[in-house]
Structures are given as structure tokens and as C-alpha cells.
Copies of this chain bind each other. A is one copy, B any other.
Amino acid sequence: MPSRANLILDNLAKKYELLKKQTSHNALGADTAEALIDVVQYSLKFLSQCNQIPLHSSVPGKDYFAFAAKKKGGKISRAVNKNLFASDTAKKLEKVFSKTLSDLPLAERERFLYTVAISYCCAVDLLKTGDQKTPATFFECLIGHLFARAFGVNPRTQVEVLRLEEESSTLPTDFIFDLGTAKPKFHIPVKTSTRERVIQVFAHQRVLDGVHGFGKFTGILVCLTETKLNHDTKEVIEICLPKQWVLYQRFIAPMKRFYYFDIPKKYAGLALGDPPMAVMSFAKFFDEAKDLMAGR
């Protein structure tokens, strides 16, 4: 087993490196789509040969499982939402990535996207120890590609900040999409989970609002999930701070969208709060991308 796992890890690492390279070179390109398909396909193939063990879900209305290495007492993956994981995703990859995602019915699109996003993360959980970095980067590549395709432009990862006196300064960010003169600009932070770090998202938006004026940058948070798995008790919880979010939205800077692959109920409820906060399934982005691009 160890040598086989090492071989799989080596192959996956090469595919991952190629994806990173293609995304930074041309996120909206067909080569990036191909590299993405390759990483996901390989991850799903590996996962299909692993066991699935049930987890104790403390999240009302949601069931979770984890992938587990066949070897007894081996590692287990992060929590996977049972209703959102579609095991037939591998064979749809080529087809779906070659056309627009809005052609897929919403529920199917939701499961497709969740399965794609979680695949590499789970594979790495089983093949490596303590690697938080490459799943986060993979997730950024996925989001970078999907937004770049929808918007028809490649992202940047820093913003120029105007200064009157000296050399201009820059603010490092997650993704910035600039659709051109007199068209919307988007500030798109991407996180596999936010927890207490979410305040950075609003604070970056605040700097952009302050430097460039209100409404110049549309803020869109994209997040995979807020689940946390206790590896000893096998309990899955969601870590949510809805009251903090309301404070940040009101007093730091408003974000236009909060897209989740696996929406926490407590955040979904903020859509009916004061102020209403647009927390929704990421799958819906593909239905409203045109509206967002038109500044609506």
C-alpha cells in the first residue's frame, strides 16, 4: 500500500502543478479546463477505491460521510455532504466543462460542482498529512476558472491603490475581475472555509470602497463549506457566526453575494435578516452571472 499511495500522490501532485501553472497563465483557457478535469478525474478514481464511513452529523438536516483508506486505522478525509456528492460525476466532467454550466438543471449542477470541489481536497486528506495549502489552491483554481469563463476575462490578484504623493501602492487580494471601462469590477475572495477569518473579507472590501469609492467593486465571497470534523468522535459540526456577519456587513463594508457549495443553514437565514445578506448556493451564480456583469 505505501508504495502505491506514493505513486498516486506523485501523479496527483504533477496534475495539480500543471493546473496551477495553466490557471496563472490563462485561467479561462481550454488548457485550464483540461488540467482541472484531469485533477478531478484522478481524485475521483482514487476515492472510488476508498471506503466511505458514516459520520455523526450535528448539523440539522444534513448527513455527512468521510472517505477512508482501505488500510485499517488509516486516515479519513474531511466531511462530505451525502446529498451533494454525486458519484457519477467523473464521467460527466468532459461534457459539462465543454459547455456552460447553466445548461445543467440547478439541483444537478449543485451536486456536480460540490463533487468537483471536494474531490481533490478529500484525496489529499488521505494521501498527505497536514496539507491545508494545496486544497485551498485547488479550490482557488476552480473558482478562478469558472468566473473567468463566465466573465470572459482573466483575474488579477492585486489592486492598484491610488496615492497622491508617492509611488502607487498595491493591495494583495484574492481575485479581482475587471470587465473594462465603465463596466463592473469584482472583488472575489475565495475560501474553503471562513470561521473567524471572514472579517478579512469585509475589511478588504472596505479598503476597495474607500480607495475607489462605493459601488466600484462588487464583493462576492465564494466558500466551500463551514463544516468541521472532530477526528476522534467523528462528529461533524458547522462553525457559524451569523451575528458577527451582520455587524461586518453593516459596519465594515457590504458584500453583494455569499456563495456556498454547502450552505450553512445559519447563514442561509441571513437572506431574511436585516440587512438582508445574499447567501446562496454557488450553483446559482451561473443563472445570474449576466445580471451581475450588467451591474444588477
A interface residues, Cβ below 8 angstroms from B:
161, 165, 169-172, 199-200, 202-204, 206-207, 209-211, 243-244, 246-248, 250-252, 274
Contact = CB atoms under 8 A, between A and B. Distances in A.
Contact of A203 (B165, B169, B203, B243): B203
A207 B244 CA distance: 10
21 contacts: A161-B247, A165-B274, A169-B247, A171-B244, A199-B203, A200-B200, A202-B203, A203-B203, A203-B248, A203-B252, A206-B252, A207-B247, A207-B251, A207-B252, A209-B251, A210-B250, A210-B251, A210-B252, A211-B247, A211-B251, A252-B252
Given A199-B200, A203-B203, 4 more contacts: A169-B246, A203-B248, A206-B206, A211-B247
Contacts of A165: 274
Contacts of A251: 206-207, 209-211
A204 B251 CA distance: 10
Report how many copies the assembly holds: 2
A248 B169 contact: no
Nearest to A242: B169
A209 to B, nearest CB: 8
A172 to B, nearest CB: 8
A254 to B, nearest CB: 12
A69 to B, nearest CB: 25
10 closest A-B pairs (Cβ-Cβ)?
A210-B251, A203-B203, A207-B251, A199-B203, A169-B243, A206-B252, A199-B200, A207-B247, A203-B252, A211-B251
A143 to B, nearest CB: 20
B207 A248 contact: yes
A233 to B, nearest CB: 21
A169 B247 CA distance: 9
A250 B207 CA distance: 8
Nearest to A165: B274
Give the most central of A250, A251, A252: most B CB within 10 Å. Answer: A251
A248 B161 CA distance: 12
Given A165-B274, A199-B199, A199-B200, A171 B206 contact: no
